[in-house]
Structure 1
Amino acid sequence: MIGRGCKLDPKLISALIERWRPETHTFHLPCGECTITLEDMHLQLGLPVDGDAITGSVHSADWGAVCYELLGAIPDNINGGQIEMGWLRDTFPEPDDDSTELEKIRYARVYILQIIGDYLMPDLSQNLVHLRWLLKLVDFRAAGEFSWGWNHSTSYAQLPTYLEDIRLLLEQRSEAQFQWKLYEDPTIRAVIPDEYLQTSNAWHVKVPLVNFAIVEMHQSDRVLRQFGFRQPIPVALEVLDDHHKIDLR
């Protein structure tokens, strides 16, 4: 059907076949790819991306006791260490000038839990967050040493709706419409603290990212144009299927 009324160019067809990646079912052309990177997570959310891996025990003899010790309240339902995001919003109002220091600390933990459950590591339910994160928020200074800048998604089906909308919007744009090095815009650069730019070499390194029992590769070699580098034909993705079979048990 394609060949009717037009001349086929064998060299062009060979070039397209050479750039086809079966892992993602897309052609990787000189315009490059686009995705959410560690740079985006660091500069937009202020989260460190070059700290220690977020890992450790996910088991507790009594999650209710952990919740009460660190938040001062216990929900009616704790399902395998998970609690409802709605309960957090309803139980912990924003502190005011009369709030004690302990109430402010507890609210800060709740606020971070909501960010984790809503944006950073959401699950399929979109309404649950695991209390294991509380164990990382006991000491805020120690929590600042971890690498938090990771949004884990194993498939497009698991992406939150707003991220899926962003992906679809980007796919509709031409190369001329897309601003590859967004953060070099003077208006945007003016509001980014200088300390956020000190670890920029970590943004485009191809490394494994560890989040408790989940391991994913940061495939920065597929999106080098986002960092102002020349984008070659990407190598095959590292398949971590064996690691994905590991669960929280």
Structure 2
Amino acid sequence: MTGPPSPLIEDYLQEAETRDANTFHLPCGECTITLEDVHLQLGLPVDGDAVTGSVHSVDWGAICYELLGVIPDNINGGRIEIAWLGDTFSEPDDDSTELKKIRYARSYILQIIGGYLMPDLSRNLVHLRWLLKLVDFRAASEFSWGSAVLATLYREMCGATRPNKAKIRGCLSLLQSWARFRFLFLHPRMDHPYTFSLITRQILY
């Protein structure tokens, strides 16, 4: 978190040593989203290496050409349009080369990261720093992606306490899903057990 803390979260910061450091204190109760919640709802790994790394002085065009095989027309501060990824990379078929399948997979993962897991305020741009983590899929699977998603969301929630803050980035669907099943006044009426459709789909396919 950058800048001085908002008075709304000063207590949260002062009690970080004795309480869960990921707790926000709201009029309707405490808000604590845990890594367990992230793993349950999104199916992301929460153990493993942290998703870190410097992105200074990087030739993003060269990175795109090496890992995606094509250079976008517009690279804005290391960000590219998610729509461009969808338009450029078609789903491979059985006759596609292994290289084409790998490039498509990188593109698809970037779309998930930028469009769902860690979207920015534009909701249509994704930073190419995530592409650097997809050079080796086996190595990428060892990262704690769940921790990165949760850290991004909490950083934005801290910043959202500023009065002039209108929008935040991050996985808001995680926050909304968590809130619906923790705060009774947001809880939907349901006559059947709730299942997390995203996880169910991943298990089935």
Equivalent residue for 2:73? 76
Q: 1:158 to 1:60 in 2, by over 3 A?
A: same
Partner in structure 2 of residue 136 of structure 1: 133
- 1:173 alignment counterpart: 184
- Tell me the secondary structure at the aligned position of residue 126 of structure 2: strand
* Alignment counterpart, residue 123 of structure 2, candidates 126, 129, 135: 126
Partner of 1:87: 84
Return structure 1 stretches of 4+ with deviation > 2 angstroms: 21-28, 32-37, 43-46, 159-179, 185-188, 191-194
Q: Which residue of 1 aligns with 2:99?
A: 102
Q: CA deviation at 1:40?
A: 3.0
> What does 1:212-223 correspond to in 2, within 5 Å?
none
Larger radius of gyration: 1
TM-score w.r.t. length of structure 2: 0.65
Gaps of at least 5 residues in structure 2 are: 1-6, 10-23, 161-166
Aligned-residue offset at 1:27:
4.0
CA contact (8 A) 1:113 1:134 kept: yes
- Which whole-Å CA distance do the structure 1 matches of 2:195 and 2:128 have between them? 39
Q: For 1:102, give the aligned amino acid.
A: L
Distance in structure 1 (CA, Å) of the matches to 2:111 and 2:47:
22
> Structure 1 regions of 5+ residues with no counterpart?
1-20, 180-184, 195-249
Q: Structure 1 192/71 Cα, relative in aligned 2: closer, same or farther at 3 Å?
A: closer
2:180·2:186 contact (CA, 8 Å) conserved in 1? Answer: no
CA displacement at 1:37 relative to structure 2: 3.2
What's the CA shift for 1:93?
Answer: 1.1
In structure 2, distance between residues paired with 1:100 and 1:73 = 16
Distance in 2 of aligned mates of 1:66 and 1:35? 38
Q: What is the TM-score when the length of structure 1 is the normalising length?
A: 0.55
CA-atom RMSD in angstroms: 3.7
Q: Secondary structure at the match of 2:91?
A: coil
Q: Secondary structure at the match of 2:145?
A: coil
2:25–2:31 Cα contact (<8 Å) kept:
no
**Counterpart Cα distance in 1 of 2:37 and 2:56:** 32
Q: What is the rounded CA distance, in whole Å, between the counterparts of 2:138 and 2:47 in structure 1?
A: 15
Aligned: 1:59 with 2:69? no
Contact 2:55 2:129 in 1 (8 A): yes
Instruction: Report the Cα distance in structure 2 between the residues aligned to 1:176 and 1:163, rounded to whole angstroms.
Output: 15
* Residue 132 to residue 177, structure 1, CA distance change in 2 (3 Å): closer
8 Å CA contact 1:43–1:192 kept in 2: the answer is no
For this pair of structures, how many residues does the alignment match? 165
Higher helix share: 2
